[in-house]
Structure 1
């Protein structure tokens, strides 16, 4: 099969085009191309599959075959650039896969067999490469699914064997990349509750840097599975070569960054093999989670827009659809509420002008009423003392007020003080010989047990069955896994991995029956945010820290990886900033309120009502537009970010004062993403009642706004300023 035919397979417009390619090993060069980039794989004469290139796409595909001889990949020990490095034979570097065969042998030597290319549609193609051990009946299929226009690739592996007895997977990564550059700078994140997404950037030197989680669930609490690697020098917002990565997995993960002796960066991403040797039966396919990545040679901004566009088009539920604004009762009532109080909040929801009222924690439990976080979790009967007329009464009241109704659940968890715990102690994750350890006074249910999966799905299904007009669910997850042990799981080493697979099974059932209902992913803040679980949710909760200045930083860092419409931002009473500042910050993503509307002064209420109307006017730009970060809050007195619609006819610019230093404020800020040849009218939005804007409405060319800029006049007394940019008619 000649190369021109292979090129046709990769670029043709035929739907579901499929072929198998098996040629002389030395003839096989496999380019994986997107609009701007190429990842190139090559088979050696002894049938090893190597990665020889990752960078800008070449004009002449025939030249990909000349790359390997230009680079120094092979060293004194094996091949540094193997596409899926195995353990126990020639390789002595960090492996992507390590196994113990049925006979106890721990070696693996994967050789190329063939590859297939499937054209899914004009944008999406799937390359699958079959590898097989030279001695044992053990196979791995490497999958590379490319999204051509978005410059995004998802990579994963499928592992299977036909040995006589079980094989143990000691490590089983999703992806193994080898990158060649003059230097590498890793930006990754750490944090804790209310301190999510704290960035660190460091040069990668020889040896291994690992970011990982061992928490079981709520796995992102200390370290999320996202990162960026700059090549040759630290990338800027609009210049430099940078790769973004995100492991699509909601449990324990491990990402290794190894600079090898030949100065290549070997990147291995997958499920954490900590306490997780996986026992794999003969004939069973083990599919690893997907690792998604994008490469940009135009800086961090383009990489973000690549990933955000891909997420909206292919990953997020209803990613190109609308979102609901809401009023939540949590910080206004906590657990102390009843029907009359909630009925008043429903009227406030309509008065405010948002779309929906969200009832938070505390609505359930009778034998052990949920009047605090010590009891009731797991007993999903409506609390008759608080809500004698059931949830249906609130749904009806919401409809009477022309708003929708949503509700909070935490179905994966249980309080020891609950009927569920009393009836099913074997459903709880806990070591039988050790004392129970709690986080927020609760334990985690064992989702590997199918009966528990049925129960968790039933919590959701029962709510919708009894209340068909229920419009929204906030799904929380507040505890990590202590004393990991499953009364159901036969192989305890499979538990951490099977738990996440089981969670996805439940969510698959939810989405199969309720495909479009908005679900918010909450996990004590941003404790479980990744594209593995976001495929089931419309939005996530970045942090319980809603102090608006802190939230600017948290939302900013999340904006590198996730689209604005997925970031649930609520106006609360945290912090000392005025209501305008708090609302302006929350409008940077998916707007919600968590305040007592009745305590607002008349001018504050009027401002909030007008702000909701403004938000709805510009919601399409925020939710579906291209995002441009203009000034980083870590480097400037003023943070500035803007969203531009695809037609470049409308944009909204958010500006926030983040410094308290004397005379801190803004000067001219250059806009981005506009059409240089169009004329635009700029004006200030969200002006507080009784105040006058200092921004005169005026017309400027896109060229002027992107070359000279506009000064939003952010300073003490004008700490948040929103600017509308509209094509001049």
Structure 2
């Protein structure tokens, strides 16, 4: 043995002998538990760390040791097919989480258990770390499992480092792996494009590998978002079945592999997309992967979504338990065609409408190449003197005089070729030096892997606040994807996609350190950059540029499985053919905004909007912080229905919409509620009535929670009542 290892140092030999000694010790079982779920790790006779169980928690923790022995499947051959963090080049025959080329050119890796440590961060949050090491190479991986007990959410990530004599190349570097056992598996994934976000598809997973990924560079999900569901045994419904939600917390290229193996077990491996990105790791350098989050429910998709929404509000979304500003945006009212006079009139409309803030969108900047369309000016962030001779400060003061706040649009990561910035700093632009430029929305991307560019992007936003301390809101857009990926700053182009996103996070961290509470909307040509890494820095996101309310019902339904209502910016616009009431009711299922010409509303429409905003201000705490129950799916019914219910189960808001225009379509049958106290009595009262109409809902009647959940209620939705919003309140016994 020692003769074969004669080329290794004494330290390496000691490490190997130590690991070999451990190999003969009793297998170590490490349960990773939340309130209802357990992921159980266990070492095998070769000291590899495997996943032996993912399922409900067991009361007797020692029985986790008996799980693996109960399976009599076909031969496994390798001993590592269920590896907690799979590698290549040793015994594994399946898709790896980690692939490396060592300093000596060898491609093998065999990670073995060294130690683990579990600690409680607080009463709800715990962190497990597990150290793994190769017995031959001085190469280590630390696995992290951060659990949120009440929410049943787990975040997993890894740290990779080495002390070899030379650099190591990471060919693949996933964040985490899961290993699931069931009779079969069903994948619900999403696809889309501009104005067609969150289109669901569900299919049975077959043998081989299904890969969900993105290679867009700046934005995760123009075509493919990083969220998915896996149902075990049968497709989960809203309230029944076992379902796992997963998502990667990363705002760039991602990759999620789902592999059904020869034993009919499912391997899920998620991380940064290694496409065009082999990473050269220097000795002593630590490569930290982004977190992969998951939540497991045994009672359907609805329960899983409520757990994830609660986790997001409590731990991840910026100011998730706080308030939000209603607003009026000028974009669809003016597009690029505005001046100070027009905007001051819109500020008066903002006050008349009754919202909190006026948002000035694209087109306010650049002078040499004025931003009068999307073909020029991007990158030149000085006020356009022709449009705004008195600058942004004058508008901020005018907003204050009208008792409203002022916000502004920026797209600081991007540049038009027709701009002063492009002329001065062509080396700051992402483009191949010898290839023809290719544009997305007439623009290119700035190289955020470059610290000088990071400083420029930071200063773009910081200067707005420095000059205008009362600025109250930022809409941060990101329209372009990366073509002709190349950084004139980086020596190693393989690091570009990773360091771009790291540069973005560096800017956002610096901004949030100086401006921790300023609300910011995350926008990317619609919903192109929605993930929980980005949402640590933003209070809300823009789901889609498609604001047709009928389309939004479907989109918001799917988004809500993964993101809470308080994070979703929904605007009333002129898209669609529905009346103003329908458009407003749909937008109220999140953070309400308006993008209309208020002065062109007729008297009744304006009155309705003003009263609806007052109503919304009363019920928004329930929508933002309540538990969401999807009652009737728009995909298979003429009427869609959603309930938001407070924690005490005493107050709720029910949204009902006609989504089918066929003859006589409507709410023929009662809609059953969920989540109520069966013993309490509830009253239903219609909200958001259009001026001059009378509700057909008898608000004097009361019903037990049992009745409403067993029989249901009928909101009387039909062609003449296409949108119905109901308040649900407990009636006290002595009232």
Q: TM-score range by the shorter chain?
A: over 0.9
- Other-structure match for 1:409: 410
- Other-structure match for 2:49: 49
**C-alpha distance after superposition, 1:396-435 (max 9, x if no partner):** 1111111110000000000000010000000000001100
Contact 1:25 1:43 in 2 (8 A): no
- Other-structure match for 2:704: 701
Take 2:715 and 2:148, find their aligned partners in 1: how far apart are those partners? 38
- Other-structure match for 2:568: 567
* Runs of 4+ off more than 3 Å: 22-25
1:79 Cα deviation (Å)? 2.5
SS in 2 for 1:358: strand
Take 2:390 and 2:173, find their aligned partners in 1: how far apart are those partners? 52
Take 2:285 and 2:519, find their aligned partners in 1: how far apart are those partners? 34
SS in 1 for 2:263: coil
SS in 2 for 1:451: helix
Contact 1:25 1:46 in 2 (8 A): no
SS in 2 for 1:406: strand
- Other-structure match for 1:321: 322
Structure 1 segment 142-221 matched on structure 2, within 5 A: 142-221=143-222
Structure 1 segment 101-120 matched on structure 2, within 5 A: 101-120=102-121
Structure 1 segment 288-307 matched on structure 2, within 5 A: 288-307=289-308
SS in 2 for 1:471: strand
Take 1:655 and 1:101, find their aligned partners in 2: how far apart are those partners? 59
- Other-structure match for 1:244: 245
- Other-structure match for 1:233: 234
**C-alpha distance after superposition, 1:242-299 (max 9, x if no partner):** 0000100110000000001011100000000110101111101100000000000000
1:532 Cα deviation (Å)? 1.1
1:718 aligned to which of 712, 721, 728: 721
- Other-structure match for 1:13: none
Take 2:104 and 2:330, find their aligned partners in 1: how far apart are those partners? 59
Take 1:703 and 1:462, find their aligned partners in 2: how far apart are those partners? 57
**C-alpha distance after superposition, 1:196-238 (max 9, x if no partner):** 0000000001111011001111220000000000000000101
Take 1:148 and 1:341, find their aligned partners in 2: how far apart are those partners? 52
1:52 Cα deviation (Å)? 0.3
Take 1:385 and 1:306, find their aligned partners in 2: how far apart are those partners? 51
Contact 2:670 2:712 in 1 (8 A): yes
- Other-structure match for 2:13: none
SS in 1 for 2:546: coil
Root-mean-square deviation over aligned CA pairs: 1.0
Take 1:274 and 1:384, find their aligned partners in 2: how far apart are those partners? 44
1:374 Cα deviation (Å)? 0.5
SS in 2 for 1:26: coil
Take 1:102 and 1:488, find their aligned partners in 2: how far apart are those partners? 25
- Other-structure match for 1:676: 678
SS in 1 for 2:533: helix
Take 1:694 and 1:652, find their aligned partners in 2: how far apart are those partners? 17
Runs (5+) with no aligned partner, structure 2: 1-21
Take 1:131 and 1:218, find their aligned partners in 2: how far apart are those partners? 33
1:675 Cα deviation (Å)? 1.3
Take 1:415 and 1:198, find their aligned partners in 2: how far apart are those partners? 31
Take 1:651 and 1:83, find their aligned partners in 2: how far apart are those partners? 43
**C-alpha distance after superposition, 1:670-712 (max 9, x if no partner):** 1111111211111101110011111110211111111111100
- Does residue 728 (structure 1) correspond to residue 731 (structure 2)? The answer is yes
Contact 2:23 2:45 in 1 (8 A): no
SS in 1 for 2:69: helix
SS in 1 for 2:460: helix
Take 2:489 and 2:205, find their aligned partners in 1: how far apart are those partners? 42
SS in 2 for 1:531: coil
SS in 1 for 2:332: helix
1:76 Cα deviation (Å)? 2.7
- Does residue 525 (structure 1) correspond to residue 541 (structure 2)? The answer is no
Contact 1:325 1:591 in 2 (8 A): yes
Contact 2:23 2:46 in 1 (8 A): no
Take 2:275 and 2:79, find their aligned partners in 1: how far apart are those partners? 26
**C-alpha distance after superposition, 1:169-206 (max 9, x if no partner):** 00000011100111100000000000000000000011
Contact 1:219 1:480 in 2 (8 A): no
What is the TM-score normalised by the length of structure 2?
A: 0.95
SS in 2 for 1:478: coil
- Does residue 546 (structure 1) correspond to residue 547 (structure 2)? The answer is yes
1:24 Cα deviation (Å)? 6.9
- Other-structure match for 1:628: 629
Take 1:205 and 1:226, find their aligned partners in 2: how far apart are those partners? 20
- Other-structure match for 1:70: 70
- Other-structure match for 1:10: none
Change in Cα spacing, 1:331 to 1:95, as seen in structure 2 (3 Å) is same
- Other-structure match for 2:40: 40
Structure 1, 227-236 or 677-686: larger mean CA deviation: 677-686
SS in 1 for 2:178: strand
1:27 Cα deviation (Å)? 3.7
- Other-structure match for 1:16: none
Say how many residue pairs are matched. Answer: 708
- Other-structure match for 1:58: 58
Contact 1:78 1:92 in 2 (8 A): no
1:71 Cα deviation (Å)? 2.4
SS in 2 for 1:553: helix
1:325 Cα deviation (Å)? 0.4
SS in 2 for 1:606: helix
- Other-structure match for 1:689: 691
